[in-house]
Structure 1
Amino acid sequence: MYWAEFLTVVVVHLLAVASPGPDLAVVLKNSISLGRRAAIFTSLGVGCGIMVHVIYSVLGIGLIISQSIWLFNVIKWLGAAYLIWIGIQGLRAKRRDAADIEADTGLRLSDKSAFLSGFMTNGLNPKATLFFLSLFTVVISPTTPMLVQLGYGLYMVFATALWFAMISWLFSTARVRRKFLQVGHWFDRSMGFVLVSLGIRLLFSSRN
């Protein structure tokens, strides 16, 4: 009964998740700088972050957020501050010598910290707030049962985590990672610049 609606959700979500943004930048940064395990946990965090947007959209809180300028701005400022903070960490990256690269003794990140980096990047992204609010008000009918809507959300969590896990796997392979690590500090700085730029752009963006 809801297959047509579900397929629409699949297509819209695919277009959204494949577009460049903070999630992709963080996953790429962790894939190259920290390795496969950290990148996979980051991807899982990004996927689980989506459930935050799904829950408040289903409960109708997303509508309240969209109508409250100060609440929306608080979320926007928090998200921008977090992106700028992790971007600055990348800008401060130092060059590693050949021994460090070969031994893979770069920066380490716990599984929990890697997961939280992905979770917070997605969960604090106000653009995601607007996307899911639009999705649950325009694409998904208000008459669709809550359990079905939550089912859509679980699909998006899984699909997002899988998408970024695939990217993590590709960019953390030994050959690809070794090539990037040879200029790793420049890659970290580039990703840092992207994240800071996204944060600043988000900070000064309008609600529209």
Structure 2
Amino acid sequence: MSATLFSFLFAITILTLTPGFDTALVLRTAIAQGWQRAWATALGVTLGCLLWGIAVGLGLGALLMASEIAYNLLKWIGAGWLLYLGIKLLLKPRQQSVETAEQPAQPQGYLACFSRGLMGNLLNPKIGVFYVTFLPQFIPAGASVALWCTLMALTHMLLGLFWNAVLIGGSHYFAGYLRKPTVLKGMDRLTGCVFIGFAAKLALSRR
């Protein structure tokens, strides 16, 4: 049991530390909109992992493995969402951060930041497929699948929150430079390209 749990913790830690869409989203939000909105985004991202774990535990994740139509539908919706975010950043990059702007035109609310992180995770079917193939390996024989999947996803969520705390805290030290209008504008466009790249990668992916 202890060896199994250690293996799970090691694997899920590597997964958490691997840069991806969620890392880019949280960092960009921290620098452009401040640490509070970044935390709202991080909470949405990590809650998405927990919801995927619960879904897999209840057997819903297996649908993505069994149904090509269900997988492709969610895949294209997710790719479209990432593409929308990327194009929006390319066409309308921020000129100044929320914290330094004297009169922000449309300050983004915490709910919007939370929803963006949550939807970016929930609309990625690869996470569901990963969970449905990854988590069962660490469930003891005869144990409750729903309970263990939920607990493992909760562990993933807590690790994600800890790692996001490191990212958000670290961004504080170089945020002053990165909040310069020209740097912020270029960073938004670079992040937009990253999001479009993730959209293409998801659209071209297979189970």
Q: Which residue in the other structure is 1:170 paired with?
A: 170
Q: Distance in 2 between matches of 1:138 and 1:155?
A: 16
What is the CA deviation profile of residues 68-122 of structure 1, one whole-angstrom value per residue up to 9, with x for unaligned ones?
00000111111111111111121123463xxx56961166321111111111111
- Residues 48 and 157 of structure 1 are in contact (CA less than 8 Å); yes or no, is this contact kept in structure 2? yes
Kindly state the Cα deviation for residue 152 of structure 1 after the two structures are TM-superposed: 2.0
CA shift in 2, pair 1:15/1:95, >3 Å: closer
- Counterparts of residues 39-50 of structure 1 (less than 5 Å): 39-50=38-49
Q: Which residue in the other structure is 1:82 paired with?
A: 81
Q: TM-score, normalised by structure 1?
A: 0.88
* DSSP-derived class of the 2:135 partner: helix
Q: Which residue in the other structure is 1:200 paired with?
A: 200
CA shift in 2, pair 1:36/1:12, >3 Å: same
Q: TM-score, normalised by structure 2?
A: 0.88
Larger mean Cα displacement after TM superposition, 9-18 or 86-95: 86-95
Q: Which runs of 5+ in 2 are unaligned?
A: none
Aligned residues: 201
CA shift in 2, pair 1:102/1:3, >3 Å: closer
Q: Distance in 2 between matches of 1:7 and 1:157?
A: 17
Q: Distance in 2 between matches of 1:68 and 1:80?
A: 18
- Residues 139 and 148 of structure 2 are in contact (CA less than 8 Å); yes or no, is this contact kept in structure 1? no
Q: Which residue in the other structure is 2:67 paired with?
A: 68
Kindly state the Cα deviation for residue 42 of structure 1 after the two structures are TM-superposed: 0.6
CA shift in 2, pair 1:206/1:150, >3 Å: closer
Larger mean Cα displacement after TM superposition, 15-24 or 133-142: 133-142
CA shift in 2, pair 1:142/1:119, >3 Å: farther
- Residues 58 and 136 of structure 1 are in contact (CA less than 8 Å); yes or no, is this contact kept in structure 2? no
CA shift in 2, pair 1:15/1:102, >3 Å: closer
Q: Distance in 2 between matches of 1:148 and 1:193?
A: 37
- Residues 64 and 129 of structure 2 are in contact (CA less than 8 Å); yes or no, is this contact kept in structure 1? no
Q: Which residue in the other structure is 1:104 paired with?
A: 100
What is the CA deviation profile of residues 8-55 of structure 1, one whole-angstrom value per residue up to 9, with x for unaligned ones?
221111111111211111111111111111111111111100112101
